[in-house]
Amino acid sequence: MRKTGLFTAIIFSISSSFAIADDHQMFTGDLDPDAPINLQTQICTLKPGKTLAQYDRLINKYFAWAKKYDVETTFVRQTPFLTHANPDNPNNFDFVEFLASDYETSGKAWDLWLSTPDGQKLNEEWLSLASCDVKMASLYTRWAKVEELNSDDNRIAVWNWCSRKEGVSSEQLMAKHDAIVKEYSDGVGNIGWFTFIPNIGGANAPADFAHIMVYPDVEGLMKHQEWFANGGWRARQDYYTYANCQGESANIEVIMNRPGS
């Protein structure tokens, strides 16, 4: 990460851009699209000899535990699909999990996880099954079809890590994001656009922030690719005059738990 002053300015520029959501509907878990969302991030690798089926049994126990203590989150898992990996640069994880909630719920959940006997028992089982690097981030909604995001449990999430270019002000970047939202108010195959800001444990993040585009399926992703091939690349190149970005990669995303479900 860059020095604190610049990082603070980047957060301001991204979080100050307005979000557009359908009739100001709320995300599941009573999360407001106009407010930052706490996103616990877990980068996980299964331990030798352990299976995803074993791990999922543990996760289902966690869901029951969270319901018992009223600290449920929207639990999302992403697995690599179309990535930057190759034989010389393989993916170094099996999957990534995101626990979306308000900040109060996340804090309460961790206190209970660390202090209750059943929480500690589950934690020991978790540590025996996988190695997970846990971090905290904030998620900001740029644009969303809330109803579709609330009902679609299997989709595609496309990531693009970016850093603001030298000489570009926070106000300029903020205005650019707002202009993109206005210009593509119906989306281009996608049902959501978010920005992801690493907070705790993000010193080795690939860049200052990430754009996340959510598509309902691969057909939606390919609709966006067709738009890009037929001239949308000009809009991408224009944005790249404001920020240095690493290029898109895609993950398969599954919503494994929604509060109250």
Residue span of the structural domain in which 219 resides:
4-257
Distance (Å, whole) CA 211 – CA 154: 19
Show the tokens assigned to 163: 């850093």
Amino acid 86 reads: N
Distance (Å, whole) CA 51 – CA 234: 44
Residue 155, classified by CB atoms within 10 Å of its CB into exposed (0-12), middle (13-18) or buried (19+), is buried
Provide block-wise average pLDDT over 10 residues at a time, the chain (261 residues): 38 45 79 96 97 98 98 97 91 95 97 97 97 97 95 97 92 88 84 95 92 96 94 90 94 96 80
Which residues lie closer than 8 Å to 220 by C-beta, 6 or more apart? 156, 189, 190, 191
**Contact (CB, 8 A) for 159 and 248:** yes
pLDDT, position 13: 41
**Contact (CB, 8 A) for 156 and 253:** yes
Q: How many domains does the chain divide into?
A: 1
Distance (Å, whole) CA 121 – CA 124: 5
| Paired residues of 249 in beta bridges | 159
pLDDT, position 186: 81
pLDDT, position 184: 80
| Paired residues of 14 in beta bridges | none
Q: What is the CATH number of the domain that holds 215?
A: 3.30.70.100
pLDDT, position 16: 44
